[in-house]
């Protein structure tokens, strides 16, 4: 049976005060870091899979400029433009199929190149042009609609708001309190500023390979599931997330997970808003739907330890950090043997991917 190993991870995340760097340099830094982490050179790869978005990168045929610094020169390269999660799944399937032995997956985003540091104007190009585009739909607007639907459906709206504030405060991971979240200004009803991620610059890379190379063992990708819902937000169940439940069921079946709540010790979940994280608990099997708010208020669940996307996330490629963080948590030990990473993309999580990641014996 083929086992897939995540043998190296790399990240490039400029900090405040750092000198400006090009997108190509960010990609090169993350790709190099992943190869060093895996103990490999670029010549030992037999392929590169990237997730480059012309729309978000602001470059026509973005992969022509970005595949080189990702290590694809004179090597096989595939660009999966829909989602960084789909790029990782593509690499996973290539190894399981026997067509490849070792691949580098990379994705990125660079908000600082946009006017005002936000890609919302570019996101609107994804919307149906005749009726929806002028309405201003964007990732933020769609997430706000989802949060509004979630809180309206809750038996106690005040507790739903308190749970969202508790999740946001925890995921900022900098001593923030729920009171700070609730005191921040409204951005898109009902979301406040501290319930929305700051758009940042970052690139992430992961070495994915068939198990067996000496020194490569440690972290395995045990299962993956993915599902896509309708592109029209008005046609979807934004609260129940049946497509996330389907993705989770497929991933758990492939990984042999029978009881996710008991077997998974680390959860790296999509939190473009705190409501998005809360809504993921039940479909992923972390708890029953009626228990999600109380679980968040109790603050004991092992979700997004070390901080979530709300502390800052690069557009489009930033969610690949969930896998990098899961690998870091598993390497740290502390009794954690299995992690789940959820990567969502599209408006209000249209694309859902669930990855089961484990510690190898």
Can you list the domains of the chain with their CATH numbers?
Answer: 4-117+199-210 (3.40.47.10), 220-359 (3.40.47.10)
pLDDT tens sequence across 252-305: 999 999 999 999 999 999 999 999 999 999 999 999 999 999 999 998 679 998
In 3-state terms the chain splits into helix, strand, coil percentages (rounded to 5) of 45, 20, 35
> How do residues 334-355 score in pLDDT, each as one tens digit?
778 999 999 999 999 999 999 9
b/e map 204-221, b = 16+ CB within 10 Å: bbbbbbbbebeebeebbb
- pLDDT for 217 beyond 90: no
pLDDT of residue 123 exceeding 90, the answer is no
At 322 the pLDDT is: 98
Please identify which residue in the block is written with the tokens 């490629």: 317
In the predicted model, is pLDDT for residue 318 greater than 90? Answer: yes
Each residue of 22-79: pLDDT tens digit?
999 999 999 999 999 999 999 999 999 999 999 889 888 999 999 999 999 999 999 9
Per-residue pLDDT, 12: 97
pLDDT of the residue at 43: 96
Nearest to 332 by CA among 293, 297, 306: 306
The answer, yes or no, to whether residue 174 has pLDDT greater than 90, is no
Per-chain mean pLDDT for the chain: 93
pLDDT given for residue 19 in this prediction = 82
Residues 29-61 as b/e (b if ≥16 CB within 10 A, e otherwise) read: bbbbbbbebbebebeebebbbbbbbeebbebee
β strands within the chain, DSSP E: 4-12, 48-51, 77-79, 102-110, 186-188, 191-192, 201-210, 219-228, 266-268, 338-345, 351-359
- Quick check: 143 and 348 in contact, CB under 8 A? yes
Phi and psi angles of residue 326, each rounded to the nearest 5 degrees, phi first:
-65, -45
Rounded Cα distance between 45 and 262, Å, is 37
Residue 91 neighbours by CB distance under 10 Å: 27
* Residue showing tokens 């070495």: 207
pLDDT bucket at 114, cuts 50 / 70 / 90: confident
The pLDDT value given to residue 44:
97
Check if the beta carbon of residue 91 is closer than 8 Å to that of residue 50.
Answer: no
Predicted structure pTM score: 0.96
């Amino acid at each position: 049976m083929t086992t897939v190993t995540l043998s190296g991870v790399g990240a490039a995340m400029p900090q405040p005060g750092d000198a400006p760097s090009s997108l190509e340099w960010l990609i090169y830094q993350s790709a190099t870091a992943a190869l060093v982490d895996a103990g490999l050179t670029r010549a030992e790869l037999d392929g590169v899979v990237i997730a480059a978005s012309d729309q978000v990168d602001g470059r026509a045929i973005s992969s022509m400029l970005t595949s080189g610094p990702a290590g694809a020169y004179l090597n096989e390269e595939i660009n999966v433009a829909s989602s960084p999660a789909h790029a990782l799944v593509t690499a996973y399937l290539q190894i399981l199929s026997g067509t490849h032995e070792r691949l580098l997956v990379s994705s990125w985003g660079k908000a600082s190149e946009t006017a005002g540091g936000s890609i919302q104007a570019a996101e609107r190009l994804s919307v149906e042009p005749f009726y929806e585009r002028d309405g201003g739909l964007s990732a933020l607007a769609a997430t706000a609609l989802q949060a509004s639907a979630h809180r309206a459906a809750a038996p106690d709206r005040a507790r739903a708001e308190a749970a969202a504030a508790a999740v946001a405060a925890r995921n900022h991971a900098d001593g923030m309190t729920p009171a700070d979240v609730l005191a921040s200004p409204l951005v898109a009803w009902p979301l406040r500023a501290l319930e929305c991620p700051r758009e940042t610059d970052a690139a992430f890379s992961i070495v994915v390979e068939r198990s067996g190379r000496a020194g490569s063992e440690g972290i395995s990708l045990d299962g993956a599931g993915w599902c896509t819902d309708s592109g029209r937000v008005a046609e979807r169940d934004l609260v129940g997330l049946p497509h996330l439940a389907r993705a989770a069921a497929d991933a758990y079946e492939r990984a042999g997970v029978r009881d996710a709540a008991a077997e998974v010790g680390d959860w790296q979940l999509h939190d473009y808003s705190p409501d998005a994280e809360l809504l993921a608990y039940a479909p992923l099997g972390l708890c029953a739907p009626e228990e999600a708010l109380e679980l968040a208020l109790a603050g004991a669940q092992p979700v997004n330890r070390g901080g979530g996307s709300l502390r800052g996330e690069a557009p489009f490629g930033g969610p690949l950090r969930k896998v990098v963080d899961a690998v870091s948590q598993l390497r740290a030990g502390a009794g954690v043997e299995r992690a789940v990473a959820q990567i969502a993309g599209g408006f209000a999580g249209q694309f859902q991917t669930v990855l089961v990641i484990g510690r190898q014996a």
